Structure 1
């Protein structure tokens, strides 16, 4: 088989769309390993690539507000708790899906920036709560508004019916993969 024959790509997909990177990868695997059903790559590979592109787009907005993804996550978690905008490091770890050590590093950085403060926990005088400062609330309110506008922009590339269908599919799939937390 010539190189040209091995790199031939599908001219169109079943839905008439232009072939993408995953179509090329799947065609190559189908050629090389015809005994394997590579169709899961059509979903998993595309989700992975879309996630990478979306992450780049989301990070750009966080950076406009001098935040990392982790900073945004901690500030947003504190902000959505409502007044007094406080959680323990353990609660932050639970709601940000990182270890307590990872949360401590994020909190240290945010505390140096004046966006959070550590206070003695009113529930447990031995513990410390991480509290959103006024400056932190201003930053996260601005960053979150920009984040939501960015998400609207990203979803505008899809038909509204597709957005609704995709949300339902992903909700059902995620429910099979993880238990939701008791609170947001």
Structure 2
């Protein structure tokens, strides 16, 4: 267990030290990455969720409108494309769509090429809300990462991408 780059000890270092004392034969190095990732996520999530709340959204609703906005003009997808992208159930998506439609941020319409299919599309209000909310979220996340240089952020992003891809490739996630 090392004190990285001369930095002070954090909560995870203290936990690892305690485990080292109690179970000295056990390698606790995974905590150095995954424990910190979890703590960081838990620490920043309330601030990010507060951004969404200021715009009258919860995280799931923001996920829907931002997915539609990222899809590009004309900012519409089928419900199937949406729930596959968001990795949620179709029932969970329906509830979100109902709330967003009631708020005037999306509309559901028949697909012109197949009247049996529905399309979900952003309204102008939905597009504006997605963009405004995303800009504020990115400003917050930039402030959160200000403790790292641009180069450190790039290095960290590259390592996290490598880890994410390895989990996708071998299915070694939360089994």
What is the 5 A alignment of 1:34-49?
Answer: 34-49=24-39
Q: Distance in 1 between matches of 2:65 and 2:110?
A: 19
Q: Secondary structure at the match of 2:147?
A: coil
Q: Which 4+ residue blocks in structure 1 deviate beyond 3 angstroms?
A: none
Aligned residue in 1 for 2:71: 81
Residues matched between the structures, number: 169
C-alpha displacement of 1:14:
4.7
Deviations 1:17-67 (A, max 9, x none): 221111111111111111211111111100111111222221121111111
**Alignment pair present for 1:107 and 2:82:** no
Do residues 169 (structure 1) and 155 (structure 2) align?
no
Query: Quick one: which of 73, 88, 102 aligns to 1:98?
Result: 88
* Pick aligned residue for 1:29 from 12, 15, 19: 19
Describe the SS at the equivalent of 2:49.
helix
Aligned partner of 2:58 among 50, 57, 68 = 68
- The whole-number CA distance in structure 2 between the counterparts of 1:34 and 1:123 is 65
- The unaligned stretches of length 5 or more in structure 2 are 170-175
Question: Is 1:140 matched with 2:130?
Answer: yes
Q: How does the TM-score come out when normalised to structure 1?
A: 0.86
1:127 lines up with 2:91 in the alignment: no
The CA RMSD measured in Å over matched residues stands at: 1.7
Report which of the two structures shows the higher radius of gyration computed on alpha carbons: 1
Q: Distance in 1 between matches of 2:11 and 2:142?
A: 25
Specify every segment of 5 or more residues in structure 1 that has no aligned partner in the other structure, as ranges. Answer: 1-9, 180-184
Q: Matches of 2:120 and 2:65 in 1, distance apart?
A: 10
Distance (Å, rounded) in 2 between the aligned partners of 1:78 and 1:147: 17
